[in-house]
Homo-oligomer: A and B are copies of this chain.
C-alpha cells in the first residue's frame, strides 16, 4: 500500500467547493493565516472562505481586505455566524482557553443550521478534559455534523510511512519504544511578547497537552495501540523565567511560570504489551549531541527512528530511518515509493544467513526518508483538509464505493479515525487523548501507576 498519496481530487470537482467560515483568522501574521489559510489557498478548488468571525467587525473586514477574501462576509456575532446558511464548515482557531466558549456557542447556535456539516477545531479541543467531554457530548447529538480535530501529526508523511512499515511487518513485532522531546520554550527564558497563557497551568496549553499530546497521539497512531497502564511525573523546575527583549537578549526582568517544564511518562501499550519510555522537557533546546525529538521504535526484525529539530512532531519536518525487512511480511508492495515520501538514501543488504536473528530468508534493507522542502507546518494541516475533501466529495473514508461528486450530503458521520490510514481525527480521537493527558496529571498527583485501558470510546 501507498498511504502517502495525495488527495484523489486532483481535478476540480464539478460541484461547488466546501464553504468555510473561520473563527480566529485575523491577519497575515496569525497562526491560522500562516497555516490553515495557506493550506486552503492551495486547495482553492475544494475550499472557499466565505465567512470570518472575530470579536470586532473591523478586524474581520481588515482581514478580508488584506487576504483578498472576495467571497467572505465578516461577522461580529458568533450567533449570526453559526446560523449563516452559506457555510458548510467552521474552523475554530483561537487560543485554547477560549475553545470551550466558542465551540459551545457554535454548537448551540448552529443547531438549526443544517447546511453546516463540518466543525474543525484546533488541538486541544478544550482547556480541560471536563470541558472537552461536554463539547464532545453536545456534538454527538448532532447527527449531520462531522467533527474534525487538528491532530495533524497523523498526516505527516513520515508518520504515515512509519505506520505503513510497521503494519506491513517490516520491523517484525514491536518490543520497545523510547521517546525524548524538547519543547523549546517551556524553559529558562520567555520572549517579552509571548502570551501569558502559554505559561499558565490553568490554560490547558502546555508541554503535556502540546508536545507530549501530539507526540503520544502519533505514537498510538503509528503502533495501532492505546495504552494499558501509565505512570507520569511532572516537574516545574523552572518556576521563574528570564524575559527576553525583542532582539532575544536576556533582560534583568523575571516572570513566574506555573506550567510544567518536564514530563516523565512511561507505559505499556495494550497491543503486544510494548513498554514505552518517554521524556519531554523545556529548557535548553539547542543540542549538539542529540536531536530535540527522537522516537526509537524497536522490533524483532528491525528498527525505526524518527528525528526532528524540535519537540513538536506535528509541525516539524522530520527524518525517518528504517532498518528492517524488505516488503515486510510479503503481503503487499510495502516499500514501493511512488508516493510523497521521497527516499534520499537507500541501501539494500542481502544478508548472509543469520541464525541469531532468525531472519535468514528475508532481505534486509535500510532507508532514510526525508523531504527536504516539505513545509510541515502547512503540509500536515493541508493533508487534513485533503482528507476532508475526499470524505466530502468521494464518500466516507472507510467505504471505497464509488460515489459521485454530486453526492454532497450523502456521507454519514465519520465516527473516529482511530488507527485508519484514511480519514482525519475527530472529536472522539480528541477525547481519548484528553483522557490520557488527564490520566498523566492524575498519575503524577496520586503517585500511582494507572490503568488507562478503559479510556477508549
A96 to chain B, nearest CB (A): 25
Check B279–A275 contact: CB distance below 8 A.
yes
Chain B residue at minimal CB-CB distance from A180: B178
Check A277–B278 contact: CB distance below 8 A.
yes
Interface residues of A in 242-301 (CB under 8 A from B): 242, 244, 247-250, 262, 264-268, 272-273, 275-279, 281, 283-284, 286-290, 296, 298-301
A309 interfacial contact with B, CB 8 Å: no
A189 contact set on B, CB distance < 8 A:
356, 358
Partner of A175, one of B265, B267, B284: B284
A130 interfacial contact with B, CB 8 Å: no
A323 interfacial contact with B, CB 8 Å: yes
A301 contact set on B, CB distance < 8 A:
284
Check B266–A231 contact: CB distance below 8 A.
yes
Contacts A231-B233, A233-B231, A448-B448 known; A290 to B284 CB distance under 8 Å?
no
Check B321–A273 contact: CB distance below 8 A.
no
Query: Copy number of this protein in the oligomer?
Result: 2
A244 contact set on B, CB distance < 8 A:
355-356
Check B264–A275 contact: CB distance below 8 A.
yes
A250 contact set on B, CB distance < 8 A:
355-356, 358
Partner of A176, one of B279, B355, B448: B279
Check A279–B281 contact: CB distance below 8 A.
no
Check B290–A281 contact: CB distance below 8 A.
no
A237 interfacial contact with B, CB 8 Å: yes
A449 contact set on B, CB distance < 8 A:
231, 233, 443, 447-449
Contacts A175-B283, A300-B188 known; A268 to B233 CB distance under 8 Å?
yes
Partner of A288, one of B249, B262, B323: B323
Check B355–A248 contact: CB distance below 8 A.
yes
Contacts A275-B235, A305-B289 known; A281 to B176 CB distance under 8 Å?
yes
A10 interfacial contact with B, CB 8 Å: no
Q: How far is the CA of A412 from the CA of B178 in the complex (A)?
A: 46
A84 to chain B, nearest CB (A): 45
Check A296–B290 contact: CB distance below 8 A.
yes
A366 interfacial contact with B, CB 8 Å: yes
A235 contact set on B, CB distance < 8 A:
268, 273, 275
Contacts A266-B233, A447-B448 known; A305 to B290 CB distance under 8 Å?
yes
Check A264–B279 contact: CB distance below 8 A.
no
Q: How far is the CA of A319 from the CA of B151 in the complex (A)?
A: 39
Q: 14 other contacts beyond A248-B356, A284-B357, with CB at 8 A cut-off?
A: A175-B237, A176-B281, A178-B279, A229-B447, A233-B267, A247-B355, A250-B355, A266-B266, A287-B298, A288-B303, A288-B323, A289-B323, A447-B448, A449-B449
**A–B Cβ pairs within 8 angstroms, 25 of them:** A175-B237, A176-B283, A178-B279, A229-B233, A231-B449, A233-B267, A233-B268, A235-B273, A247-B355, A249-B355, A262-B275, A264-B268, A266-B266, A266-B277, A277-B277, A277-B279, A284-B301, A287-B323, A288-B303, A288-B323, A288-B366, A289-B321, A290-B296, A290-B303, A448-B448
